[in-house]
Structure 1
Amino acid sequence: MPNFTLQMDDLELTMYLGVHDFEKQTAQRVIISATIETQIDSYNDHGFYDYDDLARFVRDFNGEHIETQEELVERIHGFIMSSDKVVSAIVHSRKPDVYPDAEGVGLVYGQAPISHGRAPHVVQLDNLAIDMHLGIHAHEKATAQRVLVSATIVTQIDSYEDRGFYDYDDLVDFIRDLSGSSIETQEELLVRVHEFIMSSSKVSDAIVHTRKPDIYDDAKSIGIVYGALPFPYQQTKLGARQAGSGFERRKAA
C-alpha cells in the first residue's frame, strides 16, 4: 500500500488557552499544524485520508477553553490517530501573541520517541529577542545589540494537570533577565541558558539556538546551536512578527 505524508500548515484558531486569568478572560490566536503519515489501499472512492474531518475537528476548538497546550495537542493527536489510514502523526500548536518579544511559544506532540510508556511533549520557544552586549569587539561591548534566543525542549511529564507541565514562563523570565548584560561569546550565553533548562526535573533533552540578526548588513543572522535532541533539529526561521489580534499580551519585564 502506498504511503503519503499529509501536511496541514498553520490553521488559525481563536480560543481561551492557558492557566493564567488573562488567558481565561480573553481569547487569543492559536496556530495548529500537523504532519500525518498515511497508508491507503487506493486514493479512489474516498479511500484517502480526509483532511476536511481534521480541519472541522480543530475548528471546533474556536471559543473553547483549555488550560494547557499539552492537552490541546494530545486531543488533536488522538483524533488523527483514530483513523485506520494513519500510521503516525505530529501535531504542533503555537501561541503567536502571548509574548510581545518572541515570535511564539508552542508544543509539539508525536515527534519525540516514546519513553516510560508516554510520548514526550516538545516545547518550542521561537526567537525571544533581548538587547545585550554580546561579543569580543569594542563596538559590541560599547553598544547593545539584538540577540534572538530559541529553544527546543523535550519534557517528560506524568500529567499536564495541577501545573505538572514544564512552565516556559520561567525560561522566558530567565532569558529576559540577561537583557543589558555583557557576555563575550554566544557559546557562554548558550551554556547558561541550556543549564537553566536542564535544571528542571521535567526536562530530558534540549537544544538552545542564539542568533545575532543585525551583525552583518548582507546576512540575515549569525548564530550557534548547543545541545542535543533524540530527533533531528529543525531550526526556527527568522520572520516578521505577525500583527497582533487585540489579545492582552504578557508584558516584558
Structure 2
Amino acid sequence: MLSVLHHPQLTACRRLFLRNYEVNINIGVHEFEKKGEQRVLINVDLYIPLASSTPKEDQLHEVVDYDFMRASIAKRVAQGHVHLQETLCDDVAGIMLAHPQVRAVCVSTMKPDVYPDCEGVGVEVFQIKNVI
C-alpha cells in the first residue's frame, strides 16, 4: 500500500492509527440486515502536523488521545441503523476531521461475515482538511 504520507500536505505529519476496532452495528440495506447487528471492523488513520503533536513534556494533553477515536466511533455507532458502509465511513471521517489538530484522515470499514469465501467487504475514504 502506498503511504499517503508522501502527499505534499502531509509531509510534516505523524500518523496516529486505530486498527480493526470491532463494533456491532445495525447496518445494511437488505431487510434481513435490518433485523440485527453485524460485526464491522473499523480502521482509522489520522494525520496530525508534527508542530501540534510533538510533546515537549511527555504529557497526554500535548497529543491527540487514542480515546478520541474510539469514543467518537462508539458515539456514532450508537446513533442507530446505517444503510451503507459508505455513510458510516463518511460520518466517521467527518467527525475525525472536525478535530482541530487533525489535518487528514483515512477511514475504512469492513463487514467480515458477509461472504464465506472472502475475508470481508468494505469501503475506504481519505480526506484532507483544507489548509489556508
TM-score, structure 2 as length reference:
0.76
Post-superposition Cα deviations, 1:85-138, rounded to whole Å, max 9, x if no partner, equal: 111110000000011222100000017x9xxxxxxxxxxxxxxxxxxxxxxxxx
Larger strand proportion of the pair: 1
Q: Which stretches in structure 1 are left out of the alignment for 5+ residues?
A: 114-253
Q: Provide Cα deviations, 1:174-233, integer angstroms capped at 9, x if missing partner.
A: xxxxxxxxxxxxxxxxxxxxxxxxxxxxxxxxxxxxxxxxxxxxxxxxxxxxxxxxxxxx
Residue correspondence of structure 1 range 33-52 to structure 2 within 5 A:
33-39=43-49, 40=52, 42-43=54-55, 44=57, 45=59, 46-52=61-67
| Contact 2:24/2:39 (8 A) holds in 1 | yes
CA contact (8 A) 2:18 2:69 kept: no
Equivalent in the alignment of 2:80: 64
Distance 2:123 2:112 in 1: 12
Distance 2:23 2:70 in 1: 11
Q: 1:108 to 1:4 in 2, by over 3 A?
A: same
Aligned partner of 2:92 among 52, 73, 76: 76
Displacement of 1:3 after TM fit?
Answer: 2.7
Distance in 2 between residues matched to 1:49 and 1:76, nearest whole Å? 16
Q: How does 1:145-224 map to 2 (within 5 A)?
A: none
Partner residue in 1 for 2:17: 7
> Using the alignment, how far apart are the partners of 1:12 and 1:63 within structure 2?
16
User: 1:62: how far off?
Assistant: 4.9
Give structure 1 regions of 4+ aligned residues with deviation exceeding 3 angstroms: none
Shift of 1:47: 2.0
**Gapped regions of structure 2 (runs ≥ 5):** 1-11
Report which structure shows greater RCO (CA 8 Å, sep ≥6). Answer: 2
Q: Distance in 2 between matches of 1:28 and 1:92?
A: 16
Larger C-alpha radius of gyration, 1 or 2?
1
Q: Could you tell me the percent identity over the aligned residues?
A: 32
> How many residue pairs were aligned?
111
Partners of 1:42 and 1:21 in 2: CA distance:
48
- Per-residue Cα deviation, 1:57-78 (whole angstroms, up to 9, x for no partner): 1123158310001110011000
- The alignment yields a C-alpha RMSD, in angstroms, of 2.0
CA contact (8 A) 1:16 1:24 kept: yes
Q: CA deviation at 1:26?
A: 1.8
In structure 2, the CA distance between the partners of 1:47 and 1:92, relative to structure 1 (3 Å rule), is same
User: As a proportion of its length, which structure holds more helix?
Assistant: 2
Give the counterpart letter for 1:85 in structure 2: Q
Partner of 2:64: helix, strand, or coil? coil
Q: Which residue number corresponds to residue 38 of structure 2?
A: 28
